[in-house]
Chains A and B, each alone.
Chain A
Amino acid sequence: MRTSRRVAGAAALAAVALVLLAGPALAQKSGGVINVMLREDLSQGFAIHESPTISVVWPASPCLNNLVFFDPAKPVESLDTIVGELAEKWSWQDGYRNLVFFLRKGVKWHDGQPFTSKDVKHTFDVVRAAPDAPAKLRLNPRKDWYANIEAIEAPDPHTVVFRLKRPQPSLLLMLASGYSPVYAAHVNPADYRAKCVGTGPFKLKEWKKGEYVEYVKNPDYFVPGRPYLDGLKYIMIVERGTRTAALQSGQLDVAMPGETSKAAAEQLKNAVPQLVVTPVATSVTDNIIMNAKKPPFDNPKVRLAVSYAIDRRALIAAVHQGAGVPGAAMMPRPYGVWGLAEKDLATLPGYGKPADMKARAKKLLAEVGYGPDKPLRVEMATRAIAIYVDMASFVINELKQVGIEATLKQVETAQWHPMATRGDYQIGANLTGLGVDDPDANFYENYACGSPRNYSLYCNEHVMKLFEQQSVELDPKKRLTMVVNIQKKLEEDAARPILDMRLDYFTHWPHVKGLVPHHNIYNFGRMQNVWRDR
């Protein structure tokens, strides 16, 4: 009798403890479906590793998992906010030369197969185009992220070791990006273009091409009690006015990251005051690419003149109605951790008093032989999309005031990147999206000699050495100083003058809870903790 009472007492205590521990969790309600905005159809299906666009990452994220991910609840992303998904624990060894992951046990793919270290090795061998990789990707935009990996070992089914050629603390951050999910080893990578086999919180129910993507809850998800929602539906609406109207009338519950401008958000809020609007940085910068291999922009003075001519703050006011943040290559603080502070920015071209800046630009041009009687005539290329064209129009206006006559050439979307990669242009107005706010990811992709995304064809050996130096630097404070100096140098070389970083006014209905937008459009699409309040 006594024993059973003790047992009962213990059970009661345990129950109370459970309730207390799980207390906050009980506020979330299970069930319901939410409709999410999608601006266009998935161009590469669910093959995130073959895609460079948010249009694939946003709808494909619910079905997949990473090794590690940025904490969904924290808007500012950094090393400190990395949490494990498929990896339970991880540790750097050997002075950041080897990265060991201890994987979660009992995780299953959506088709029932068990998840093991083999899947991780398979994914990243394929993505880094290892010589003995089991398959090849049709398109591989982020191969360079993994260029430093020597080998990947899977000593047992729940351990993976990444062996690097040299220390690289940034690897962990790149693995935490929405661009780095884990594929299944028993599925051909090409199949991800048509369907999605993942371990994620939601299973793909149907992809109706050109219309929607539908998900249902994964009952075997490895996080108990998640996901809260029964399903998700990503609805494609190409026409911008119709898209906004759908959000306003409640047919869509959540907007798409990066798609809501300040004015649109104001309009929505006016019409539906209870909508939740959160301004976030998008990790997308407006920048100017100049062909450094062809005249006139092979001359750094001319490039610098262009940079001086463009009043950054005026651009933010005119083109984005204030919904932009001035900064250099890395995301400015407080949205990111590597950005330049106000005092650093003040010394850069384009940030001082507009009259002074324009005078500097004119002087630089005069030094090279251009002047009021001999204007510099160039052709500015940009993509034939409104957000590009608006920015380009403003820039052309600015350039006109310092004696650079630019005509605008609109390039159709399909032509833009091939044209830029070939160097078939003089100057262009460009947008660049960063998958993760990390110096390695940014510098190597956009400024390294020979990188296919380095559209300016800018190549500076000294700066390359600086990239290398900061990449192996283990002391975070020292590294920050190095990264700041590199950003200044890049702006002074006018390698790819950054005009601003766009802000997005991410909007959703108040009954959607648990969705916290990050200062990066690619990394908060998992939808694992999202629930519906009615």
Chain B
Amino acid sequence: MKTYIAHRLGIGVLTLFGMSIVIFLLLRLAPGDIVEALFSAGGYVNPEERVAILRELGLDKPLPAQYAEWMGQVFRGDLGKSYRYDVPAWEVIRPLVPVTLELAILSMVVAVALGVPTGVVSAVRQDTGLDYALRVVSLAGLSMPSFWLGMVIILGLVAWLGWIPPVTYVSPWENFWLHLVQFMLPALAVGYRSSALIMRITRSSVLEVLREDYVRTARAKGQTDRVVIWRHALKNAILPVITVIGIEFAFLIGGLVVTETVFNLPGVARFLVQAILWRDFPIVQNLVLFTAVIVISVNLAVDMLYGVLDPRVRYGS
């Protein structure tokens, strides 16, 4: 087990390195740099000032030097300075992280809460009208652009109720219920989408398990359907679902980008878009790396969980 973890961690680190290089290069591929972005909204930059700023920000050094500098900073725990705000990048990012984390977790909870039960019901009532209806509804969630869903929610609210969730962040200590409302709506918008995938996987894995011998044995032994389902089928069906949760997490972040923008939540994902448009390299680089770390960690955790839950899987042997 230990060698397996070490092995996976090693690969994870290598992957992160690779990602860092990819992101680093991609960003510098982009035409225009922070100087042009900074002064774009109607101004001009004196060419001498331009050179001076580029030197100040270290952008005039050759690429490998810039990369080495960045990596050195990462190892020292220094995430560099935001080009745009001229303050340490971590200072800008830190307050945003809990918001996105909370939204991601809430969305995942919604997704599982919606997806698993509907998947089970759909599997048990396979090929009935209910099954088709559930599948269609769930597929609709997968098909709708999440930003559209968010827009429709906000516009619907303001049109019918004259009210929208707060546009500035309300912390849970300030006003717990308002905070919950502020996060539940976007969580629903994102979660609906993820629930579709979870529902499908749950359904197919439950179906597969229902065919298994041990289930038929249990049925033959006279145990009621419900016991069969809950005790035997679900426990085994849950495994692929957990794997999917891991994969979905990465996918979730895409949905968070637009949802945070539409609902005006001060999270990391929304900030990432702005930073990309601003060519604020330190922010984008570090945020993407951060995201990658999260994704890899979640996947590793899921694999470990898988190993714990499924007695047939034992790593390292």
Contacts and interface: CB of A to CB of B under 8 A. Distances in A.
Decide if A and B touch, CB cutoff 8 A: yes
Interface size class of A (residues with CB under 8 A): 35 or more
Interface in B96-118: 96
A210 B274 contact: yes
A481 B300 CA distance: 77
A104 interface: no
Interface in A412-441: 412-418, 421, 433
A139 interface: yes
| Residue of B46, B157, B159, B261 with most partner-chain A CB within 10 A | B46
Nearest to A431: B42
Given A210-B274, A242-B154, A249-B158, A421 B164 contact: no
Contact of A237 (B41, B95, B167): B167
B168 A235 contact: yes
A318 to B, nearest CB: 25
A401 interface: no
Given A210-B274, A237-B167, A251-B167, A421 B32 contact: no
Contacts of B41: 43, 51-53, 55, 413
Interface in A164-219: 193-194, 208-212
Nearest to A211: B266
B163 interface: yes
Given A242-B164, A245-B155, A138 B49 contact: yes
A246 B167 contact: yes
B232 interface: no
A241 interface: yes
Nearest to A413: B40
B87 interface: yes
Contacts of A239: 261-262, 264
A246 B154 CA distance: 10
Contact of B40 (A233, A252, A417): A417
Contact of B263 (A41, A242, A418): A242
Contacts of A208: 95, 266
| A interface secondary structure, majority | loop
B38 interface: yes
A252 B40 CA distance: 28
A45 B272 CA distance: 19
B86 interface: yes
A452 B167 contact: no
Contacts of A251: 164, 166-167
B24 interface: no
Contacts of B151: 241
Interface string B270-305: 110010011100000000000000000000000000
A44 B53 CA distance: 14
A289 to B, nearest CB: 13
Contact of A193 (B43, B44, B86): B86
A346 B45 CA distance: 39
Interface string A52-79: 1101000000000000000000000000
B42 A413 contact: no
Given A238-B261, A245-B155, A415-B32, A211 B37 contact: no
B39 interface: yes
Contacts of B44: 141, 417-418, 421, 452-453
B248 interface: no
Interface in B17-45: 31-32, 36-45
A139 B32 contact: no
A252 B168 CA distance: 11
Contact of A418 (B32, B155, B166): B32
Nearest to A129: B46
Contact of B154 (A41, A53, A241): A241
A44 B85 CA distance: 8
Interface in B146-198: 151, 154-155, 157-159, 162-164, 166-169
A239 B261 CA distance: 6
Given A245-B155, A412-B32, A414-B277, A139 B39 contact: yes
A278 interface: no
B135 interface: no
B43 A417 contact: yes
Contacts of B53: 138
Given A138-B49, A237-B264, A241-B154, A416 B166 contact: no
Contacts of A140: 46
Given A239-B264, A241-B155, A249-B162, A52 B43 contact: yes
Given A194-B87, A242-B262, A413-B277, A248 B158 contact: yes
A418 B32 CA distance: 9
A26 to B, nearest CB: 33
Interface string B44-72: 11100100010000000000000000000
A317 interface: no
A51 B44 CA distance: 10
Interface in A219-274: 233, 235, 237-239, 241-242, 245-246, 248-249, 251-252, 271-272
A97 B107 CA distance: 68
A417 B36 CA distance: 8
A210 B39 contact: no
A115 B164 CA distance: 44
Nearest to B49: A138
Contacts of A242: 154, 164, 167, 262-264
Interface in A4-62: 41, 43-45, 51-53, 55
Given A211-B168, A245-B155, A414 B261 contact: no
B49 A43 contact: no
Given A241-B154, A415-B36, A139 B45 contact: yes
| Residue of B38, B85, B157 with most partner-chain A CB within 10 A | B85
Contacts of A238: 261, 264, 270, 274
| Residue of A194, A208, A249, A453 with most partner-chain B CB within 10 A | A249
Nearest to B266: A211
B228 interface: no
A210 B275 CA distance: 11
B207 interface: no
A193 B159 CA distance: 39
Contacts of B279: 414
A89 B164 CA distance: 49
Interface in A393-420: 412-418
Nearest to B56: A138
Interface of A: 41, 43-45, 51-53, 55, 138-141, 193-194, 208-212, 233, 235, 237-239, 241-242, 245-246, 248-249, 251-252, 271-272, 412-418, 421, 433, 452-453
17 contacts: A43-B84, A45-B85, A52-B43, A138-B49, A139-B38, A210-B274, A235-B168, A238-B270, A242-B262, A242-B264, A245-B155, A251-B164, A251-B166, A415-B40, A417-B43, A417-B44, A418-B36
The 9 A-B residue pairs whose C-beta atoms are closest, nearest first, are: A52-B42, A414-B37, A52-B43, A245-B158, A53-B41, A414-B32, A452-B44, A141-B43, A414-B36
Given A414-B36, A414-B277, A415-B31, 16 more contacts: A44-B38, A51-B43, A53-B43, A241-B154, A241-B155, A242-B264, A245-B158, A246-B164, A251-B167, A271-B159, A272-B162, A413-B41, A413-B277, A414-B32, A414-B37, A418-B32
